[in-house]
Amino acid sequence: MSSTATIINGLAVLGLAISFFNGKEKTLRSLKVAGKSFFKILPMVLIIVVLVGLLLGFVPPSQIEKLFGAQSGLLGVVTIGAAGAILHIPSLIAFPLAGSLRESGASVAATAAFITTLTMIGTVYLPVEIKILGKKFALLRNGLSFLAALAISLLMGLIL
């Protein structure tokens, strides 16, 4: 078990203990919610396991490095960022995918762009956002989010 896994499991146990101390009924409800979400996300996780396996098994790292590696520059970052903005993958599952891209040679900036646009911009939710918060707010937020995501990614590329 990696140290991250140890910490996460430790936190879960600690959280459960504190919750149990403060309310048995609520703790049981939390566990029920947890179980439900687990089975809801399980097929998606397995799909990603298959896809990541195929991706790393078939696409040579040199190819990924060419497309999204350091020398792909701004174009690689913008391309993968745009893909992230349009795609609708639960972010829980996107991290393993991003991790496999990174391992195969994608640059820090490209990996960060993918994750950040994926989570920050909800093209799928845009109609709902417009309806509830108004067109001006929704379009400004999503549009500027893309620019912010690019800035975050490029800065990450510089830092790491």
> Which 106-135 residues touch other proteins, going by CB under 8 A?
108, 111-112, 115-116, 119-122, 124-125, 127-135
Interior/surface letters 114-135, b for 16+ CB within 10 angstroms, e for the rest: bbbbbbbbbeeeeeebeeeeee
Q: CB count, 10 Å around CB of 88?
A: 11
Using CB under 8 A, pick the residue from 52, 70, 78, 82 that binds other proteins: 52
Per-position x/- string for 10-49, each x denoting binding to other proteins as judged by CB under 8 A, each - no binding: -xx--xx--x------xx-xxxxxxx-xxxxx-xxxxxxx
By C-beta, is 53 or 73 nearer to other proteins?
A: 53
Q: Which amino acid is at 3?
A: S
**End-to-end CA separation in angstroms for the chain:** 26
Using CB under 8 A, pick the residue from 74, 75, 83, 151 that binds other proteins: 151
Using CB under 8 A, pick the residue from 7, 74, 75, 83 that binds other proteins: 7
